[in-house]
Structure 1
Amino acid sequence: MLLRHTLYYFTARGLPGLVNFAALAVFTRLLAPEEFGRYALVVVGVGLANVILFQWLRLVLARFYQANRHCREQYLGGVLALFLSVAVPVTGAGLLLAMVWPDPLWQYLLLLSVILLLAQAWFELNLSLAQAGVQPILYGKLSGTKAALSIVVGGSLAALGWGASAPIVGLIVAHALSFIAFGWFAWRGVKPSLPGNDVLKSQLGYGLPLTVTFALSWVVSGSDRLLIAWLLDERSVGVYAAGYDLAFQTLMLVLTIINTAAFPLAVKALERGGAPAARRQLGENGQLIFVAAIAGGSGFVALAPQVVEIVIGAEFRSAALAIFPWVVFAGAIAGIKAFHFDLAFQLGVASRWLVLTGAVAALSNLVLNILLIPSFGILGAAWATLAAFVISALLSAVLGSRVFDMPSLGPMIGRALVIGGLSGGVAWLAAGQFTSVWSGLVSGLLAGTVVGLVACWLLNVAGVRARLQHRFPG
């Protein structure tokens, strides 16, 4: 079931991810680095506000939807009421901030940011609903439509000279139209009604610590752009964000696809079979996460020159290549932490411990950024991010093992290192046989993927060999 659902969500999230590749290529060619830098600052600011204000509600929906599926409309009514109770005051505060901001350009961008925050938060709540309901097709329709519309609308506006506001308006339109097309029917018959005090207390007790954790994770993955803007300039933010997004977000997309399919299966196993069943499911999930993180990261680094030249605009390339390998492996460590080690706290309903791991990582990241950026520029920011994620992952692994009975790490790490070394090495060798960028990328990607899949079969990753032999005996 894990592999089948992963394939479903690969289509549902992978195709929009390819569109995001195209968006990065479009915007780094149509926007100047300083314009892309302003856009990146808006995205990271909206992301922080989204995490602080609305992430807890999405987490509650994902964790407890299955337990309340027999009273669906009543449960969703509580979710809707909670969303509105946050959205209304946030709108007023955001508009007030925009009006008093001294810079006219940023006044306009802040107004757009408020609208984007609400649209994005509501859209992502609907994605969580589709995921919790194990509806990968609906998930794919929502995310695919949003990705396509954002690049069409945003790219068109960028070509017309809208500057930094072009991709922001594109995102707003894409979120809204995607929900209207595919999401509204899930809320038919749902009336907002705040849940009872006991239910609300339990939801907040679960969601708020995770919200703090995600906010602290944002400090690790997003505050570097604000610090670069403060210590350097908006142009440096633009070139850093282009390379960072290509490296980090692409690998995290792959890992998120796996987790999108895997986490509901772990919750389902826990609800129906208890901790032993959840541990077995986590063993399969974790092996797939480790292999994808390490093998995917190795392959991505091996093909970095080809990927960067194809995707990133000329003004951004040299900086992107400089930070690329550091950010790729930061993404691999971040994914392993978020989608394996941190699950111990979520399944064990002890999410408060995530605050500690996040706080240590955030503090480390801030201190290292402030120390390294003045001397090493954006490369120092990449080093700080990698170090912070390593620290937080180690702490999460140690503490999580005391909260929930997690599967053994040895086999996961061993298989992942073998597969990663083989697939990354073969991809590098194959790509080096061609002078053409496209030929090198395609040959390296195909060779690395084939070798990686064969290695996965030989090592029986996530039980793939056993399942295939059972389905196709003889």
Structure 2
Amino acid sequence: MHALFQSCARPRPCTHGAQTTTGRAMLNRHLLAYLPVYAAQAVVGFGSVIVFTRLLTPDEYGRYMLLLAGAALIGTAVFTWLDAAVARHHARCEARGRMPGHLFTAWRIYGVLALVSVLLAGAVIALIPMDPALRTACAFALAYTVIRSGVTLAMETRRAARQAGRFSALETFTLAAGFGLGVVFAHAGLGAAGPFAGMALAGLIVLLIEAPIHLSRARRDRADAPRAIAYFAYGGPVAFSLIFEHLLSVGDRFLIAAFMGEAAVGAYSAGYALADRSLSIIFLWLGMTTGPLLVAALEHEGREAARAVARRTGALMGLLGFPAALGLILVAEPAAHWLIGAEIAGEAAGIIPFIALSGLMNGIMTFYFHEAYVLGRRPRAMAAVMTAAAGLNLALNLVLIPLMGLTGAALATVISYGAALSVCVIHGRSVFPLPIPSGDWLRAGAAALVMGAAILALPDLGSAPADLFARIAVGAIVYAIAALALDAAGCRSQLAAPILLRLTGARA
């Protein structure tokens, strides 16, 4: 494995000014290209909470969220190591003319894993005694997991090739069609199986479009077996780490189900989804866009080029993440009572502030500080950190859920993410020293505090939708003014000024 990445450590001569300008321009272009995907994620994420908490009973919604968490864990354990390896090796294989062999190895492995998963998991679903509705939901969840993993493999290849337009179009379709079909199936009476049936069908359409294209370019070569071993050597620790990341974020649902029942899982998951998805969309947009750029910069231009891209990424995460987290905390009540079904809205509202804080820490950790372990080729160290964090979360949940209910689960999440983030910040610098844009983060934090004061000063308008929209509008306007005044993340000098120059130039 180390031989595959040894060129990453070789410094390359470069001109830092030109390098920084070029990297910033490329980053801005890719952020715009990927924006439709994450706009679709926002619509689908909120839409899923709004619609499914109303179409499904609290027990059905809780069952759906439990199965979704289980599907994510299984998909991560079985398939994600391959996605990680494909993303990390693409630039090298492309540069060396080995793309046909790379594609053959990746898709051959996926085919084997998909077949084994369907046979083994299908047998378990068929043989274990369970309620017919649960069996149907499990079957559709399995189909969704296998199909979605194939789509992810194709999309990772597109993303690693920096084909942002095609990635954006296909992923947006997958999200929108999956949600729309899921609503149709849920409304038709499939219950918890409905959303999975919709997502599986939408994914199958995209897989039937993409897979033949990739397979037509694939060619077996003599490096197939060694390449597969190398891919697992790199991707295995990454997947192991991600398993515990998932356990850290969704493991508490299984304990809540054991202690409090499926309806409590539904309430907790609705509040968690509303807060976490609001933030994860921002961090996914930034992190998933800049990940390939960081690897490409390191491979082709050296460490300083990668650090320049990372610094800009970190500054943008603070600029967007800080106000989003604080805003969620301050609008938790009206947001929950308007967006979530009435039966579970009250309980969901109580956990939103905790999840907003943990979501901010998770986003910065996963999509910024974890990049140190990717760039420094130390996925095992990242896995060790996340394993310890998941263990801490499990222990805290076992103590706090019986004492404090859903609030205890949310508090355990905050403590666990805080501990994991602290370790990643400190230890990650010994692996690959990512810059910490402290000045930009301080300015963004100050602007967010000004926004928070303005939101708190607003009177209660009585109606949840009116109160929510008023607070969002005032908060957005005040934050924009404060951020521009403080030039947080260079938003005035690097974003607003060029736009004004273009507008004035066009008028002239």
Tell me the TM-score normalized by structure 1: 0.94
Identical aligned pairs, as a percentage?
A: 26
Matched residue, 2:102: 75
Q: Which amino acid aligns with 2:70?
A: G
Which whole-Å CA distance do the structure 1 matches of 2:294 and 2:460 have between them? 43
Tell me if 1:325 matches 2:353.
yes
The 1:445–1:154 alpha-carbon spacing in structure 2 relative to 1, beyond 3 Å, is same
Give 1:458 shift: 3.7
Q: Which amino acid aligns with 1:21?
A: F
Tell me if 1:104 matches 2:131.
yes
Tell me if 1:299 matches 2:327.
yes
Matched residue, 2:419: 391
SS at match of 1:345: helix
SS at match of 2:217: coil
1:77, 1:191 within 8 Å by CA — same for their partners in 2? yes
Q: Which amino acid aligns with 2:88?
A: R
Q: 1:446 aligns with which of 473, 476, 479?
A: 473
1:220, 1:361 within 8 Å by CA — same for their partners in 2? yes
Q: 1:277 aligns with which of 280, 300, 305?
A: 305
Give 1:353 shift: 0.7
SS at match of 1:57: helix
Which whole-Å CA distance do the structure 2 matches of 1:62 and 1:278 have between them? 16
Tell me if 1:250 matches 2:250.
no
Larger Rg: 2
Give 1:394 shift: 0.5
Give 1:328 shift: 0.9
Give 1:420 shift: 2.2
Question: What do the CA deviations read for 1:326-381 (whole angstroms, capped 9, x no partner)?
Answer: 01111110001001111101011111111121011111100001111112111111
Tell me if 1:87 matches 2:114.
yes
Q: 1:140 aligns with which of 157, 165, 168?
A: 168
Q: Give the 5 Å matches for 1:216-365.
A: 216-365=244-393
Tell me if 1:375 matches 2:400.
no
Q: Which amino acid aligns with 2:80?
A: Q
Which whole-Å CA distance do the structure 2 matches of 1:261 and 1:100 have between them? 43
1:80, 1:192 within 8 Å by CA — same for their partners in 2? no
SS at match of 2:129: coil
Please list every run of 5 or more consecutive structure 1 residues that lacks an aligned counterpart in the other structure.
Answer: none
Which whole-Å CA distance do the structure 1 matches of 2:123 and 2:489 have between them? 52
Which whole-Å CA distance do the structure 1 matches of 2:272 and 2:221 have between them? 41
The 1:434–1:179 alpha-carbon spacing in structure 2 relative to 1, beyond 3 Å, is farther
1:101, 1:107 within 8 Å by CA — same for their partners in 2? no
Question: What do the CA deviations read for 1:250-278 (whole angstroms, capped 9, x no partner)?
Answer: 21111111112222222222122211111
Give 1:183 shift: 6.5
Which whole-Å CA distance do the structure 2 matches of 1:147 and 1:51 have between them? 19
Which whole-Å CA distance do the structure 2 matches of 1:471 and 1:234 have between them? 51
Tell me the TM-score normalized by structure 2: 0.88
Which one is further off, 335-344 or 435-444? Answer: 435-444
2:278, 2:324 within 8 Å by CA — same for their partners in 1? no
1:26, 1:155 within 8 Å by CA — same for their partners in 2? yes
1:217, 1:362 within 8 Å by CA — same for their partners in 2? yes
Aligned length: 473
Q: Which amino acid aligns with 1:447?
A: V
Which one is further off, 372-381 or 323-332? Answer: 372-381
Which whole-Å CA distance do the structure 2 matches of 1:34 and 1:132 have between them? 40
Q: Which amino acid aligns with 1:350?
A: R
Which whole-Å CA distance do the structure 1 matches of 2:350 and 2:457 have between them? 21
The 1:412–1:59 alpha-carbon spacing in structure 2 relative to 1, beyond 3 Å, is farther
Tell me if 1:154 matches 2:182.
yes
Which whole-Å CA distance do the structure 1 matches of 2:358 and 2:101 have between them? 41
Q: 1:43 aligns with which of 56, 68, 84?
A: 68
Which whole-Å CA distance do the structure 1 matches of 2:410 and 2:241 have between them? 21
Q: 1:114 aligns with which of 133, 142, 152?
A: 142
Q: Which amino acid aligns with 1:384?
A: A
